Amino acid sequence: MSKKAKVLIVDDDALNRIVLEQTLSDEHQIYLVDSGEAALAFLATTQVDLIILDIVMPGIDGYEVLVKLKENSQTHSIPIIFISANQSHDDEAKGLELGAMDYITKPFCASIVRVRVRNQLLIKQKNDLLERLASIDGLTELPNRRYLDENLTREWRKCKRSDTTLSVLLIDIDYFKRYNDNYGHRAGDDCLTKVAQCMAAQCERGSDFIARYGGEEFAAVLPAVSKDQAIVFAEKLRNAVNKLAISHQASLHANHITISIGVASTADTAIASAEQLLEHADLALYAAKQAGRNQVMAH
């Protein structure tokens, strides 16, 4: 692992927590809690790479904690290793059926604990890499349509829970087909990549992202941003692309690459879903094109 992985140990026995911490702290960053309730509260605010979870605890036991974690989209992919003093294969089978990745029995053998934790973290690292690759557009290296759809839905739900505004931009490179016809598809790919990276560089907040929507279209998702603020950001994108000054002699209105942008926001009470938010942004984009392109319009 290139950096220390974060491991949460959940056990009501203080001695067990000490032993596991001493066993793993040289290689990993360790967090300790003494109950299932404390584990759930901790994970609501902190991300970890692996959980070592005792089965038998007062209050919420390990099985119930595991079920709750698997039901939560924010925690369902965290690998969990069960620990128990019970040697019963039935307990082990139940844990694995519920979604645990491994099972360690007490008393602990330090070398086995270290190897099993290391193995599960390596598996997670590979799975995370595959997941990232599946969510990246191969040409522009921006998030792809799959990532956009999944995360827009998530941000929609979050804004509804927190009663905040979510804004979306749809962005189109003006007369891009004419660019491809005039300069060739390899130049077209280079143009797409330059525009994509230029726009991504304008995102200063970690919560904002720009994804490839399809072809020469892109989408920006801006959580907790008002419509007016989204318009300002859209103008920032438009100006940044203009400053690239990518020659486009086949354009019908400029001698360089430009973009048109449509803006929509949940501040519009007529919007009832994430899909409708995109539809409104698409209508605004159409209006921007009809008005002459190289401009921002809000629905």
Residue whose token pair is 């001698």: 255
Q: Which long-range contacts (CB under 8 A, 24 or more apart) does 99-107 make?
A: 99/66, 99/70, 100/53, 100/66, 104/52, 106/16
With contact defined as beta carbons under 8 Å apart, do 265 and 233 qualify?
Answer: no
193 vs 142, 177, 234, CA distance in Å?
Answer: 9, 15, 18
| 9 phi/psi in degrees, rounded to 5 | -105, 125
- Residue whose C-alpha is closest to residue 227's, from 261, 272, 265: 265
Question: Strand, helix or coil at 228?
Answer: helix
Distance between alpha carbon 297 and the CA centroid of its chain, in Å?
28
Angle made by CA atoms 208, 211, 215, in degrees to the nearest 5? 155
The one-letter code for the residue type at 261 is: I
Which is the catalytic residue, given 141, 155, 216, 275?
A: 216
Distance CA 111, CA 105 (A): 13
Distance CA 42, CA 31 (A): 9
| 284 phi/psi in degrees, rounded to 5 | -65, -40
Residue whose token pair is 């698409």: 282
Angle made by CA atoms 214, 225, 269, in degrees to the nearest 5? 85
- Residue whose C-alpha is closest to residue 278's, from 162, 149, 173, 146: 149
Which of the 8 DSSP states describes residue 142? S
Is 155 an annotated catalytic residue? no
**Active-site residue set:** 216
